[in-house]
Amino acid sequence: MRHVATSDRNFYDRYYFNCFPISGDMMLIIGVGQYPNLGVTDAFALLRRGTAHQVVRASRELGADRMDTSVGPFRVEVIEGLKRLRVVLEECGHGLAFDLTWTGSIPATLEPRHYLRWQERVVFDSTRLAQTGRWEGVIEHGGERIAVTPDRWWGARDRSWGIRPVGEPEPPGIQARNSGTFYWMYAPMQFADHSILAIVQEDEKGRRLLEEAVRVWPDPDREPDFLGRPDYRPVYAPGTRDAVSATIAFTPWDAEPFEVQVTPLLPVHIMVGTGYGLEPDWRHGMYQGEKPVVQGVVHDTEQEADRFWGLVDAAARFTYGEHEGYGLYEYWALGDHPSLRP
């Protein structure tokens, strides 16, 4: 999108991908975004493997060609629209590279519009499509070449666009009076013959701001099954807000209620080093200068444990009845919420 319908500085247009083996011993997360009203495009790749939290990130001026999805060593190629994409990070001296092809397992599915108004200002007004799928290709990390095959390497992707906070920080003004609550769960889960997409967002009083519960089939001619109002019940490690398990209950109007058990396999703190808001010098859409910039960031999740908080994107196992699958379990419990009170 070269010129968008709004002049809001926070307009964005972004790819998100995750890629992990079902063994859950590593997870790769990739993002590529364009910010037309800020004149910036950027990208990141985050690999969590063992205690290593390794990020490669790049930024450049956006320019006029919106079909150019390259950002330094990153690029996204559409092989078959809404079905197959190639995602590449070329070797750039930071110990991580990959050449991966994504194939969707279900049709790309439009999620509910995400709209939030705080202190009279619209801070979220975005649209997103989601899709589960499989990966094939190679990851190179620390001198090791890792084969990625679709029988073992699963994942989810989304493409979203609209308004959400990006770029350099603004003066908070009256927004400083916000409660600071962000109670969120997002779980695109993939099973052998179907996927379930579930979203829950609530405010500090437990009121629903956004929700979705739908079963999607590989056959594009088969209508999705709507699964009613999802009920989300996480279990946290004592004294923390780190989820060790969760239950997501569904109540379809035309079938028996059922519960999906969630087992996180590998937590990945996606806000560390990637631009989601924790570092003042690198945020999505932040102008990094006239010349393209490529950086590498490496942290140790044990030695620097205090650094790792915020939104978690966990590779997870999902089970219900005879079904076992894998997918993304994304959650954050920030601030006050009824479920967190004694």
Confidence band, pLDDT 50/70/90 cuts, at residue 330? very high
Answer yes or no: is 101 within a domain.
Answer: yes
Answer yes or no: is 4 within a domain.
Answer: no
Checking if the pLDDT of 296 tops 80, the result is yes
Please tell me the predicted confidence (pLDDT) of residue 276: 95
Task: Give the C-alpha separation, 101 to 109, whole Å.
Answer: 19
Answer yes or no: is 2 within a domain.
Answer: no
Answer yes or no: is 171 within a domain.
Answer: no
Answer yes or no: is 174 within a domain.
Answer: no
Please tell me the predicted confidence (pLDDT) of residue 177: 81
Mean pLDDT, to the nearest integer, of 125-151? Answer: 98
Range(s) of the domain holding residue 328 = 11-165+180-340
Task: Give the C-alpha separation, 246 to 235, whole Å.
Answer: 6
The DSSP symbol for 224 reads P
Confidence band, pLDDT 50/70/90 cuts, at residue 215? very high
Q: What CATH number is attached to the domain comprising 34?
A: 2.40.370.10
Answer yes or no: is 3 within a domain.
Answer: no
Please tell me the predicted confidence (pLDDT) of residue 213: 98
**What does the mean pLDDT of the chain come to?**
96
Mean pLDDT, to the nearest integer, of 113-142? Answer: 96
Checking if the pLDDT of 178 tops 80, the result is no
Please tell me the predicted confidence (pLDDT) of residue 172: 87
Number of domains within the chain: 1
Checking if the pLDDT of 179 tops 80, the result is no
Residue 213 vs residue 120, higher pLDDT = 213
Checking if the pLDDT of 131 tops 90, the result is yes
Within 13 Å and on the Cβ side, how many CA atoms surround 314? 24
Please tell me the predicted confidence (pLDDT) of residue 2: 85
Checking if the pLDDT of 37 tops 90, the result is yes
Answer yes or no: is 173 within a domain.
Answer: no
Task: Give the C-alpha separation, 87 to 18, whole Å.
Answer: 11
Report pLDDT digits (tens) over 11-34: 999 999 999 999 999 999 999 999
Please name the residues in contact with 332: beta carbons below 8 A apart, sequence gap of 6 or more.
182, 183, 184, 310, 311, 312
Answer yes or no: is 258 within a domain.
Answer: yes
